[in-house]
């Protein structure tokens, strides 16, 4: 689990961060976009994600029988963390929250781990308004879970997202592994380094 934080930040900056003109799921616009799934579904990214999320859970001493969140952003985070936890001998099960109840079969909204009264951690990839995180929190509590903590990979620090999630999560704590500014700064540093290397190579060839 050495340097999981540094590895995940670099991968998010390289694979998930894009500059341009984007419309967000919240309806707002932005000059950048972060698609965490390009990192969390990457082989190395999945390992770094699972290691860092597990490290955060243990470091904060959150009781966690299971980890889960709203599909689809949470899906790869849940699986990666569960797999890494099992490999380390401290298994944390996974569950997924549907955006709405199934209209067939059991009609349930929670898929996977389903022990009522269990302590769980809610996860999400990006927090802007916090709407998807809040949906997961509400569904988990309605099911009968006790929430130990709430975590997202990247917080955009806008649209009141943190305040919204903190209100919904209370008394559990909400934490973000990175801010969008962290990822943007790393992306800029990587691009500047590449440009510098390219100039040096061009000068050497000249």
| The predicted structure's pLDDT at residue 23 | 79
CATH 3.40.50.1820 given to domain 4-205? no
Per mean pLDDT, which range of 68-72, 88-92, 101-105, 150-154 is the poorest?
Answer: 101-105
Express each pLDDT in 71-90 by its tens digit: 999 999 999 999 999 999 99
Query: How is the chain split into domains, by residue range?
Result: 4-205
Q: Comparing C-alpha atoms, which of 66, 46, 43, 45 is closest to residue 145?
A: 66
Which residues, 6+ apart, have CB-to-CB distance to 106 below 8 Å? none
Q: Comparing C-alpha atoms, which of 99, 108, 112, 55 is closest to residue 73?
A: 99
The structure's pTM equals: 0.91
| Selected residue with higher pLDDT from 107 and 188 | 188
pLDDT-based confidence at residue 160 (cuts at 50, 70, 90) = confident
| Selected residue with higher pLDDT from 139 and 24 | 139
Over residues 96-103, the mean pLDDT reads 78
| The predicted structure's pLDDT at residue 203 | 77
- Residue 166, pLDDT above cutoff 90: yes
How many percent of the chain have pLDDT more than 90? 78
Over residues 32-56, the mean pLDDT reads 97
Which residues, 6+ apart, have CB-to-CB distance to 17 below 8 Å? 32, 33, 34, 183, 184, 187
CB distance 68 to 120 below 8 Å: yes
Q: Are strands 173-179 and 146-155 parallel, antiparallel or unpaired?
A: parallel
pLDDT-based confidence at residue 200 (cuts at 50, 70, 90) = confident
CB distance 179 to 154 below 8 Å: yes
């Amino acid at each position: 689990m050495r340097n999981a934080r540094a590895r995940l930040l670099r991968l998010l900056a390289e694979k998930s961060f894009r500059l341009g003109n984007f419309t967000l799921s919240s309806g707002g616009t932005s000059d950048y976009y972060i698609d965490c799934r390009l990192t969390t579904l990457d082989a190395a990214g999945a390992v770094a994600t699972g290691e860092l999320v597990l490290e955060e859970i243990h470091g904060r001493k959150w009781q966690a029988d299971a980890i889960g969140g709203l599909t689809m952003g949470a899906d790869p985070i849940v699986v990666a963390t569960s797999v890494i936890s099992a490999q380390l001998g401290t298994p944390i099960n996974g569950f997924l929250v549907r955006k709405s109840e199934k209209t067939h079969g059991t009609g349930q909204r929670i898929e996977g781990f389903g022990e009522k009264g269990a302590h769980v951690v809610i996860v999400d990839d990006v927090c802007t308004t916090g709407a998807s995180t809040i949906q997961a929190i509400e569904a988990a509590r309605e099911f009968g879970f006790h929430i130990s903590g709430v975590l997202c990979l990247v917080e955009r620090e806008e649209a009141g997202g943190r305040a919204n999630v903190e209100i919904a999560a209370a008394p559990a704590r909400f934490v973000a592994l990175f801010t969008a500014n962290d990822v943007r700064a790393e992306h800029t540093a990587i691009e500047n380094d590449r440009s510098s290397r390219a100039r040096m190579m061009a000068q050497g060839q000249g």
